[in-house]
A and B are shown apart, each in its own frame.
Chain A
Amino acid sequence: MGFRHKDIIALKDLTKEEIELLLDTADNLSEINQRDIKKVPTLRGKTVINLFYEASTRTRTSFEIAAKRLSADAVNITASTSSVVKGETLSDTAANILAMKPDIIVMRHSVSGAHEYLAKRVSCSVINAGDGAHEHPSQGLLDMLTMRQKFGKLAGLKVAIVGDITHSRVARSNIYGLTTMGAQVFLAGPPTMMPPGIERLGNVTVCKDMREAVDQADVVMMLRIQLERQGKTLLPSMREYSRYFGLNPAVLALAKKDAIVMHPGPINRGVELASSVADCDQSAIMKQVENGVAVRMAMLYHVCGGEPVE
């Protein structure tokens, strides 16, 4: 079973076998990150361009490290320091970048669907590093890898995803990925942040109360309140949000004893996650960051040489 995609735009596009292959590859590649010499010659001579239209620390750094560990040349372009501020369109930026013959473009964009638009216009591979409120496939994969390493499987796991579901591309990628892999997903969040009809995505249950979602969960995934993506009208106050949808030790006690706490970062401490929970033994947040490099190495490795999907 191989991976034949030229691009990775969304986990929705991937089969169970393809997700499994990416996770297996990442799991095996994670050994490279523990070595003294953290480098293999696999993508020597390939050029990876990280084109980030939105602020990012860990995703961009993680993709850059992943590319460099595979011996590719990585170039970073951030929108604030590029011709985008001069009014250049995405299509023109892409054409200009393409003229420099990159092999892979890793892009983050605030508009959902921007990657699909780009992938259709360029011959090189495109990896989605987050598009609007649509998907964040590398985050979904690293989350699944972290769960699989802890529990040895994904099928049958109860995963609670709590917070701003509407604006979360992390939630969407996890819902697609986890349900494809046979996990049960329970969602909780303020009704103003819960998209109607989300149950139709698969094995997803919407809970009115966060406690119901967390009860006997194997994984509690907290989402960041994305103040930059929403008006204040969705929340009466941060204090109230924290009271009803923040994870504190009392709520975490409802989950299984060996449950893990996850968060895509950056954390709003004291809002969605109590500091004591963010730093507790059950927190897998740093493991998620660690796994991010291995997952992105796997994505870069498998798209390089893939074919356009008909």
Chain B
Amino acid sequence: MAENTVILDGTGVKRALTRIAHEVLEKNKGVEGLVLVGIRTGGVHLAQELGARLSEIEGVEVPVGAVDITMYRDDIKGHHEHLPVGKTELPFSVEGKKVVLVDDVLFTGRTIRAAMDAIFDQGRPSCIQLAVLVDRGHRDLPIRADFVGRNVPTSRSENIMVAFDADNKPTEVILQK
């Protein structure tokens, strides 16, 4: 029987996102040249939330896009049936932009590597920063997040799940044992 522990409740998620928004603004000294790119699917919902907070604080709309990494995965051989492909939607050029890549959970780092490959196929950003709601460790690649909502040390057998409501708003983060 799986045991679930709530790591962050709705209020905790909101606070974490607000803090990340302030950290993003501080590091980049505002939103000039900044774009947010969420990794499908959870990262996209979080990128939209983060974008809304940045706009509230700065009063300027920050462009938000979505990247699907299915075609960039390095484990295609391991799947008997291929995963469904999502749509990459970047309604702006990433050329010369400061890209903040957003994902819900940072684990092995392979998803982030794939997302960076996908972004570089669209142009050459001036830099890529990484924002995640939860960093659960177990990196396979030398990848580190610039902005982290919550560090949660886990075992490989555990699972972290970010729940969203019908409007795609994050409601809680759960540790499944």
Q: Which residues of B contact A306 (CB under 8 A)?
A: 80-81
Query: What's the minimum C-beta distance from B177 to chain A, rounded to whole angstroms?
Result: 28
- Can you spell out 7 A-B residue pairs with CB atoms less than 8 angstroms apart? A29-B71, A40-B118, A41-B71, A41-B72, A298-B85, A305-B77, A307-B80
Q: Is there contact, CB below 8 Å, between B121 and A301?
A: no
The yes or no answer to A203 lying at the interface (CB within 8 A) is no
The yes or no answer to A37 lying at the interface (CB within 8 A) is yes
Q: Which residue of chain A is the closest to B74 with respect to CB atoms? A: A41
Counting chain A CB atoms within 10 Å of each CB, which of B72, B73, B76, B123 scores highest?
B76
Q: In the complex, A36 Cα to B121 Cα: how many Å?
A: 8
Among the listed A28, A39, A305, which residue makes an inter-chain contact with B81, where contact means beta carbons less than 8 Å apart?
Answer: A305
Chain B 89-102 near chain A by CB (<8 Å), digits 1 or 0? 10000000000000
Chain B 121-136 near chain A by CB (<8 Å), digits 1 or 0? 1110000000000000
Q: Which residue of chain A is the closest to B83 with respect to CB atoms? A: A2
Dominant SS at the B interface?
loop
Tell me which residues from 154 to 175 in chain B have a Cβ below 8 Å from any Cβ of chain A: none
Q: In the complex, A105 Cα to B88 Cα: how many Å?
A: 29
Query: What's the minimum C-beta distance from A6 to chain B, rounded to whole angstroms?
Result: 10
Tell me which residues from 1 to 43 in chain A have a Cβ below 8 Å from any Cβ of chain B: 1-4, 21, 24-25, 27-29, 31-32, 35-37, 39-42
The yes or no answer to B82 lying at the interface (CB within 8 A) is yes
Among the listed A29, A39, A41, A307, which residue makes an inter-chain contact with B85, where contact means beta carbons less than 8 Å apart?
Answer: A29
Q: In the complex, A36 Cα to B84 Cα: how many Å?
A: 24
Q: Which residue of chain A is the closest to B78 with respect to CB atoms? A: A305
Q: Which residues of A contact B76 (CB under 8 A)?
A: 42, 304-305
Asked if A4 meets B72 with Cβ closer than 8 Å, knowing A29-B85, A40-B121, the reply is no
Asked if A25 meets B80 with Cβ closer than 8 Å, knowing A37-B121, A40-B72, A40-B121, the reply is no
Q: Is there contact, CB below 8 Å, between A28 and B79?
A: no
Name B's A-contacting residues (CB within 8 A). 68, 71-73, 76-77, 79-89, 117-118, 121-123
Q: In the complex, A1 Cα to B82 Cα: how many Å?
A: 10
Q: Is there contact, CB below 8 Å, between B71 and A37?
A: no
Name A's B-contacting residues (CB within 8 A). 1-4, 21, 24-25, 27-29, 31-32, 35-37, 39-42, 70, 298, 301-302, 304-307
Q: Is there contact, CB below 8 Å, between B88 and A301?
A: no
Q: Which residues of A contact B87 (CB under 8 A)?
A: 27-28, 31
Q: In the complex, A36 Cα to B124 Cα: how many Å?
A: 12
Asked if A35 meets B122 with Cβ closer than 8 Å, knowing A41-B117, A305-B76, the reply is yes
Q: In the complex, A298 Cα to B88 Cα: how many Å?
A: 15
Q: Which residue of chain A is the closest to B40 with respect to CB atoms? A: A28
Q: In the complex, A25 Cα to B71 Cα: how many Å?
A: 11
Counting chain B CB atoms within 10 Å of each CB, which of A3, A35, A40 scores highest?
A40
Q: Which residues of A contact B84 (CB under 8 A)?
A: 1, 21, 24-25
Q: Which residues of B contact A302 (CB under 8 A)?
A: 81-82
Q: Is there contact, CB below 8 Å, between B82 and A2?
A: yes
Q: Which residues of A contact B77 (CB under 8 A)?
A: 305
Query: What's the minimum C-beta distance from A190 to chain B, rounded to whole angstroms?
Result: 42
Query: What's the minimum C-beta distance from B51 to chain A, rounded to whole angstroms?
Result: 21
Among the listed B72, B79, B89, which residue makes an inter-chain contact with A31, where contact means beta carbons less than 8 Å apart?
Answer: B89
Q: Which residues of A contact B82 (CB under 8 A)?
A: 2-3, 301-302, 304-305
Query: What's the minimum C-beta distance from B70 to chain A, rounded to whole angstroms?
Result: 8
